[in-house]
Structure 1
């Protein structure tokens, strides 16, 4: 079957294409529109579809809309209830249901030739669950835990995969929502709600959970597979922070307290689920599963032998999950994800044409991996644009900013390049066979969805990637899966003795990750990056741009 998955209703609109159970393409609309998260999650924007992402997925496979057998839309309006009946203060929420019901006709307009009768509504959390259970490698019979802000009427789903079926076990109805509680705190701390929750997680490492007893009164597991999470009096715990105001210790402490109560609740939910299924494997999905600190605690203290997290755990992943669920139900055996590099790419000739059009000096060194390793060893910052772009929010060696981990100042330097807060860490990529020597935590970790303790003797050797709490969110690199990245890491280790390179996303603050060559050139041109490695080509700042002394300015 040829199945197109669509996520559109809330945020992170995305499309994914499956052919006979295999994922052919997946992409988020933000990478085309250059609008962070594609849109804001407002009822008035619920009609907006991932038109460009969907059209590209079809082009990638050489298909027309009329060639599709089914379209999975990851929200089922038939399950929704009025906002006030769910305890939500959202007088315009009914627009979401209205727009969702009309999605088949909207899709017919966006994709001319599409038969609206092939559009299937997939429950939001079942789509999340399928994105974990069916995409995980060697999962077989496994447990699934989904947590996010909200779906049709719930904020959580515990389920089990048995063969090609998903069996729901428990769902927590709204208004109780761990995701919405974390969103409320994000806004209280002066960050952008439904966007900057990862900043709260980073800030938590700078605080102590002294407000945990108070938060436990409002957020806790109920022992039956559900939880309570609503009505937290944030204003009583600390003063709100303005977006342009510095954070205080009280802000860090409330973030640490919220992080702690989230982890406790997730552990209780995981233990309840394991008690029902006795599975060895747990898969996680939903926006809360992007909290790598909580994921690590579940892996470390929870009852499951292995934890796998969908790399596109947020709503974008429901495009893939919805398609996987329809594929499994239609008799196609879903194939696990081979990697997150499911987006666009360009041939060497096409990249060369882009560079000629941009009229920037460039060259083609014998080995771009060796050239980049040498630049990094010389403490240059490198923009790395290689292969297919990533599906999900993590840069995994295809659209990355790279730097030397041995210089502590490179953390501040990269945060300045990206224009973001200095309390935020950057991540290391490391050769998979060397990772256990340096980091302690779940292995392998190819998607940067866990944090690992950094061995004491290594903390001084790679200070740029060590967070204030002594951890790092690592990406392990398998040479068989990522030969070019592995070759660069091997050469960097030969030059420096360090099998680790700093890896952060190739973008600047408030903008989506770079996706196409124009994005890469614009980012390179507007940021103090020393080298752009685009495919086999090297573009050097000193050659492309004339620098000016202060006296000239």
Structure 2
């Protein structure tokens, strides 16, 4: 059974391929088009088909469109309702509906040989649910989905049994925790449906002094749903322009909204557990990227295992849609990791280096050479294996630095063009993590929880410690990423510190690096000391080597 999943209606267009129950590939269109979130600066921006991602998934598996048994589209137009009935005010909704109705024809035009009758509509939140409940477990788990919106709802709570979803609750629009957080994101001067994680970071600098007032308008209803009445954010803190500095009032507003969101999500998770008595909770939808809320779910609900989807946003619905259709024809298998995107072998990397006329080394002791650069204060661009599916850099497309130097946070934010309050993450081997981090669940391979940094370590790794004493940890599995594990070991041998700074390999407004060409472009334009691609190492050329390269 060969199923191609597609997300193309809201944002983050993506594709995923499932063959005989196994996830073969998944990728976001932005990694190919180099347009962040897959949006074009024209009308219909949010409805870009992931043409390149779809074609890559098929090529990766050696398939043609005619070989597919089904295309699973992560939206069901039959469930949509007029915006007036939903209490929304998005004038593009009528266009979105017309687009969804014509999706089979659009897909067939993009993939010649595809039969439009093979297109299956999968409800948006069902696709989200499967991206976690089927992709992260053996098909037996509770699942909680929270995002901005689907066809007519913003939430789904249910349970998977034997790979079959049993919905237990949902929340009708316009009530939406995701849209509420998007509105706040825009009020605080950030880009909605994109920069919500900045609000979470800013919240750490504030005090939730408005939380009680917000709870009167935002709260769980005790029956598996919730209420989000309209909030006049300006009555609490004036709207910030994108180019204005943030104030304590803005931070306090962010902290208050973050606290109320966390409390509401915890109440929803407790209600769901009360219905099922389950021990595993899979999370999806954009709200599942809120690391602070995820940690509180783990700490304050009866669930022993909390499993957020690494691609919890709309990109993940392509994966979930494909798994939903595949599960109707047989068992599906959980994915071993988030590295589901493009991979380039050593020969392909070497060809890219030759085409760019960049001199490179292939050292016998790669880990030692890179660890020396990091220990001496260098910033390293690290490009290894298959790219990650989702917004987190997990050691495949990363910028690395020494956590001992607090200035490295500012240096990395300057390289990436980010706000100064944005944290970076620590990367650590699984077996060393408990020595340094506590409270959150370990291992934590997808960087989707926050952990307290043990006090003796806060002064040793200041670059990765957030203002509140926490860190968003990524643990590294030696068997899955041996080259990265060797680097961590080599760095510890030189410094006594088993941690590296990790942030995504991109600059401001650009998608994460995906190909060798992307990596070379970043290295050529950003103040990065070293680029490591596969076994090859590039360092900044001296004037003599630069002149030789240009001849």
Structure 1-normalised TM-score? 0.97
* In 2: Cα distance, 1:520 partner to 1:450 partner: 28
Q: Do the aligned residues in 2 keep the contact of 1:74 with 1:318 (CA within 8 Å)?
A: yes
* In 1: Cα distance, 2:260 partner to 2:207 partner: 12
Q: Do the aligned residues in 1 keep the contact of 2:505 with 2:513 (CA within 8 Å)?
A: yes
User: 1:17 and 2:17 equivalent?
Assistant: yes
Given candidates 388, 409, 414, the residue that maps to 2:407 is: 409
* In 1: Cα distance, 2:410 partner to 2:543 partner: 25
* In 1: Cα distance, 2:421 partner to 2:157 partner: 34
* In 1: Cα distance, 2:543 partner to 2:26 partner: 33
- The CA deviation at 1:482 is 1.2
* In 1: Cα distance, 2:92 partner to 2:504 partner: 35
- The CA deviation at 1:32 is 0.3
Q: Do the aligned residues in 1 keep the contact of 2:40 with 2:46 (CA within 8 Å)?
A: no
- The CA deviation at 1:90 is 1.7
Secondary structure in 2 matching 1:37: helix
- The CA deviation at 1:40 is 6.7
Secondary structure in 2 matching 1:420: coil
Given candidates 397, 400, 424, the residue that maps to 1:399 is: 397
User: 1:249 and 2:248 equivalent?
Assistant: yes
Q: Do the aligned residues in 1 keep the contact of 2:224 with 2:268 (CA within 8 Å)?
A: yes
The equivalent of 1:101 in structure 2 is 101
The equivalent of 1:493 in structure 2 is 492
* In 2: Cα distance, 1:118 partner to 1:225 partner: 35
Residue deviations 1:195-232 (CA, integer Å, cap 9, x gap): 00000000000000001111111110000000001301
The equivalent of 1:157 in structure 2 is 156
Residue deviations 1:431-462 (CA, integer Å, cap 9, x gap): 00000110011011000000000000000000
- The CA deviation at 1:330 is 1.5
The equivalent of 1:347 in structure 2 is 345
Matches within 5 A, 1:272-351: 272-331=271-330, 333-351=331-349
* In 1: Cα distance, 2:366 partner to 2:354 partner: 19
Q: 1:42 to 1:159 in 2, by over 3 A?
A: farther
Matches within 5 A, 1:11-410: 11-39=11-39, 44-137=44-137, 139-331=138-330, 333-410=331-408
Task: Name the stretch that deviates more: 481-490 or 311-320.
Answer: 481-490
Matches within 5 A, 1:441-460: 441-460=440-459
Q: 1:43 to 1:289 in 2, by over 3 A?
A: farther
Residue deviations 1:89-117 (CA, integer Å, cap 9, x gap): 12331111110111010000101110111
* In 2: Cα distance, 1:414 partner to 1:230 partner: 39
Q: Do the aligned residues in 1 keep the contact of 2:139 with 2:164 (CA within 8 Å)?
A: no
Residue deviations 1:245-301 (CA, integer Å, cap 9, x gap): 000000000000000000000000000000000000000000000000110110111
Secondary structure in 2 matching 1:151: coil
Q: Give the count of matched residue pairs.
A: 545
Q: Do the aligned residues in 2 keep the contact of 1:466 with 1:472 (CA within 8 Å)?
A: yes
In structure 1, list runs of 5 or more residues that go unmatched.
548-553
The equivalent of 1:551 in structure 2 is none
Task: Name the stretch that deviates more: 493-502 or 449-458.
Answer: 493-502
Consecutive aligned runs of 4 or more in structure 1 exceeding 4 Å deviation: 40-43, 543-547
* In 1: Cα distance, 2:42 partner to 2:254 partner: 25
- The CA deviation at 1:360 is 1.5
Task: Name the stretch that deviates more: 358-367 or 126-135.
Answer: 358-367
* In 2: Cα distance, 1:523 partner to 1:268 partner: 44
Secondary structure in 1 matching 2:179: helix
* In 2: Cα distance, 1:414 partner to 1:108 partner: 43
The equivalent of 2:549 in structure 1 is none
Q: Do the aligned residues in 2 keep the contact of 1:10 with 1:42 (CA within 8 Å)?
A: no
- The CA deviation at 1:47 is 4.0
- The CA deviation at 1:21 is 0.6
- The CA deviation at 1:543 is 4.2
- The CA deviation at 1:377 is 1.4
The equivalent of 2:2 in structure 1 is 2
Residue deviations 1:392-435 (CA, integer Å, cap 9, x gap): 00000000000000111100010011111000000011000000
Secondary structure in 1 matching 2:148: coil
Secondary structure in 1 matching 2:275: helix
* In 2: Cα distance, 1:109 partner to 1:545 partner: 52
Structure 2-normalised TM-score? 0.97
The equivalent of 1:550 in structure 2 is none
* In 2: Cα distance, 1:270 partner to 1:418 partner: 36
Task: Name the stretch that deviates more: 267-276 or 31-40.
Answer: 31-40
Q: Do the aligned residues in 1 keep the contact of 2:145 with 2:156 (CA within 8 Å)?
A: yes
Q: 1:4 to 1:479 in 2, by over 3 A?
A: same
Q: Do the aligned residues in 2 keep the contact of 1:10 with 1:41 (CA within 8 Å)?
A: no
- The CA deviation at 1:481 is 1.4
* In 1: Cα distance, 2:121 partner to 2:542 partner: 53
Q: Do the aligned residues in 1 keep the contact of 2:142 with 2:278 (CA within 8 Å)?
A: yes
* In 1: Cα distance, 2:516 partner to 2:102 partner: 35
Q: 1:76 to 1:86 in 2, by over 3 A?
A: same
Q: Do the aligned residues in 2 keep the contact of 1:43 with 1:96 (CA within 8 Å)?
A: no
- The CA deviation at 1:46 is 4.8
